[in-house]
Structure 1
Amino acid sequence: MEGKKPQLIIIDTDSGFLKQYEEDIIRRYSVNAEVQMITDPGFVNAYFSTEQDPDLMLIDEASYGDGSQFEGHSIGKIYLLVPEVEMTKTYPDNVTVLVAFMPKEEIFEKIDMALWSEAGVESASSPADETPAPKQTRVVAVYSPIGGCGKSLVCVALARKLKMLDQKVLLVGCDDTQSLSVYLPGENYASPELAEKLIHPDEDTYWTILQNIKTDVVSYLLPFEKSLGMMNIGLKEFDVLIHTLVEKQDFDFIILDMGTRLTREITERLNKIKALILLTEANVLANRKMQKLLKNSELLPKCQCMIIANEYQSDDTRVLRDKVFGTISPYPNWEKALEDPVFYRLALALEESV
């Protein structure tokens, strides 16, 4: 493979197992390998209508069939993903059968070994000629003057996409009722001791914060059972929290769900953040509120600002595409909305920004 990048082909037209890792695969391997992802059944035959010689092909059982369509092609190695291994079946020597739905990390290890180990090349995740850059925690705030427009959903979706880009992410609910908690599992709450340590910080504050961070799909700070006002948690206490976490550099990104309140005092503190995501809706009322905010631009922090429009509660008001970073399309439920491509583009923009 000297002189050219190894070629990786991913084919998943039926099971959907590999489709969910498409972004991860492209992000991880596209720099050091030529990656072709095929999820359309009609494209498989078209692609193999001419001779192909990939170094590695990952393919689901339905797409592979009896394998006859791949005869005559110089495929280095084939990983065939099946629901369960049938001992009576036999395959060509270059085919390795893997059980589908194995952990993503194991899939990546298999790809790394097939593409680089024999050639003595470092894997895609740790090229030998790269020196890891020093970690710098970046704080991103999500804000809107409009209530109930999906700020918490944007926080959760963005956190998930950043994690897919191998970023360590922490979610923090900053609005008084910590509405972010509706997207979090269970009924677990932060300890009263955390409030005390933020109000009166000491050498144990960092340890107390860590004890109140949990991880599900992404990491999140446990919400308080009572409102922040009832817990006497204000801007000063959040300064302690964010400063402590940024200083310790445990996370690549901290995402703040800011709610709908914005004052000069809040803005002054937000001037320290990396980026602000402004969320609006595609309706007349939301448009008026956003225009009013933009006319009072001194309330906005001096940082990178990106506007996202949520089309779920649209009244056919047109959102000018050149004025927004992207739009969230209408979805039947919030789980589907989490997969909107706009969040991946947003994560990439934040991850690649200096």
Structure 2
Amino acid sequence: MIHASLLKKQHFYLGLMAVVIFITLMIAMTSGHASLPLHRLIPTLTGAGTFQESFILFSIRMPRIIITLLAGMALSLSGAILQSVTRNDLADPGIIGINAGAGVAVSIFFIFFNIEAGTFVYMIPLVGFIGALITAVLIYLFSYKRTEGIKPMHLILVGVGFSTALSGLMVVIISSQEAEKVDFIAKWLAGNIWGSDWPFVFALLPWLIVFIPFTLLKANRLNLLSMSESVAIGVGVSIQKERIQLLFAAVALAAVSVSITGGIAFIGLMAPHIAKRLIGPRHQLFLPLAILTGGWLLLVADTLGRSLTNTMIPAGIVVSLIGAPYFIYLLLTSD
């Protein structure tokens, strides 16, 4: 039973974050190199804008905004799952190799397979997921010891090793390729939100519709898994089964997001921490706020990258400029 005061606190922060996201959406829709003044936003949204205004808003900015929101939500939820399952507050899909696994798969698919544009859009999330899943299975196997099972810290260290190795493999893969393909992969590595059309929204959305409710329904299991194994076993939780199911969800959420947005790290690290500090560590309380926070963080990063300079700064770089110092801070303050 969750105390009424905690629920009230959660509702307050959820409402506050919804307002913040709404304000950021207004700024994002009117920001960028192409002109769309704020006073023309409502007329354009209601169909009374010029052809140019409608094209800028509905064909260029809206799909990109929705993709950044959805991807940020998925990455934050993936990070929250990983932190709970590994019982390590420094876990993040970009740090432990899941994103790199998806990146290698996307790179190989893009370089060596000629797929029609319409099919390519829907294949990319699946390819990224397969690459990330293979990586996650290898990390799990290398971390597993028959006598001890899975040691959370061991899992993190093996994941970091895989991330480094896969990043090197990606450099080897692109080293002898033509300039156009190298340029695409370089943009992917920088987190350049390359998939910014409506078909990419429809390719990403089904995965979130499945895995976000699944994870929220598993909130109590995550509470138990984040404690000691003896506590979880004592209340009848099948640790390995639950851990595998939740890791599968975390891999899927992260992989399909970065396959479309590019190499985005630290969202899955920062958003869950912010939510926990505001309303506490119970997953029923902080997971919904972490999801909204992750979407907002990536939306802010992309909006800043599009607006601050004449040359677009990839969202992944903006996020890293914020996330890297935060990671160092957590590293110094963690026990």
TM bucket by the smaller chain?
under 0.3
Structure number having the greater helix percentage: 2
Per chain length, whose mean CA-contact separation is higher, i.e. which structure has more relative contact order (CA < 8 Å, sep 6+)? 2
Structure number having the greater strand percentage: 1
Decide which structure has the larger Cα Rg and report it.
Answer: 1
